[in-house]
Amino acid sequence: MRIKDTAVARLKEGVEVRRGVSLADETSLRIGGTTDELMLRQYETIPDVMRLLADEHIPHKFLGGGTNVLIADGELPWVILHLPVAHPGMRVEGNAAYVDASADLGGMVTFCAKRDLGGMEGLIGVPGSVGGALRMNAGAYGTQIGPRVREVELYRAATGKIETLRGDDIRFDYRHTSFAPEDVMLRVKLELPSKPYKEILAGIKVCNEKRRSSQPLNQKSAGCIFKNPQGGSAGKMIDELGLKGHRVGDAMVSDRHANFFVNAGGATCSDMLKLIDEVRDRVRSAYGIELENEVIVWRN
Please state the closest distance from residue 239 (CB atom) to ligand EPU, in A: 3
How far, in Å, CA of 167 to CA of 119, rounded?
17
Instruction: Give the separation between CA 214 and CA 191, rounded to whole angstroms.
Output: 30
Q: Is 243 in the site for ligand EPU (CB under 6 A)?
A: no
User: Shortest Cβ distance from residue 139 to ligand EPU (Å)?
Assistant: 7
Select from 88-96, 148-156, 220-228, 276-284 the region that touches ligand EPU (CB under 6 A). Answer: 220-228
3-state secondary structure of 200: helix
Residue 150, phi then psi, degrees to nearest 5: -105, -35
Give the binding range for ligand EPU (CB under 6 A) out of 106-114, 163-171, 235-243, 261-269: 235-243
User: How many of the chain's residues bind ligand EPU (CB under 6 A)?
Assistant: 15
> How far is CA 121 from its chain centroid?
18
Q: Decide: is 177 part of the binding site for ligand EPU (CB under 6 A).
A: no
Output the CA–CA distances (angstroms, integers) from residue 126 to 33, 72, 184, 212, in the order listed: 25, 24, 20, 12
When asked if residue 239 is in the footprint of ligand EPU (CB under 6 A), the reply is yes
Cβ–Cβ under 8 Å, residues 89 and 103: yes
Nearer to ligand EPU, 225 or 248 (CB): 225
Pairing of strands 176-177, 172-173: antiparallel
Site string for ligand EPU, 131-160 (x = CB under 6 A): ---------xx-------------------
Q: What are phi and psi of 88, to 5 degrees?
A: -85, -10
Stretch 245-264 residues interacting with ligand EPU (CB under 6 A): 257-259
Among 45, 95, 110, 233, binds ligand EPU (CB under 6 A): 233
Q: Which of 14, 84, 146, 223 binds ligand EPU (CB under 6 A)?
A: 223
Alpha helices in 130-196 (DSSP H): 130-136
Give yes or no for a contact between 80 and 38, defined as CB atoms under 8 angstroms apart: yes
> Which H or E run includes 17?
strand 15-22
| Rg, the chain, Cα only | 20
Nearer to ligand EPU, 101 or 207 (CB): 207
Q: Tell me if 236 contacts ligand EPU by CB under 6 A.
A: yes
Dihedral angle computed from the Cα positions of residues 230, 236, 242 and 245, in that order, rounded to the nearest 10 degrees: 110
In this chain, which stretch among 36-44, 149-157, 190-198, 221-229 interacts with ligand EPU, using CB under 6 A? 221-229
In which element (H, E) is residue 240 found? Answer: helix 234-240
Q: Closer CB to ligand EPU, residue 102 or residue 221?
A: 221
CA 6 remoteness from chain centre: 32
User: How near is the Cβ of 233 to ligand EPU at its closest, in Å?
Assistant: 4
The pattern of x and - marking residues 266 through 295 that bind ligand EPU according to CB under 6 A reads ----------------------------x-
The one among 50, 70, 76, 224 contacting ligand EPU by CB under 6 A: 224
What is the contact surface with ligand EPU in residues (CB under 6 A)?
A: 140-141, 214, 223-224, 227-228, 233, 235-236, 239, 257-259, 294
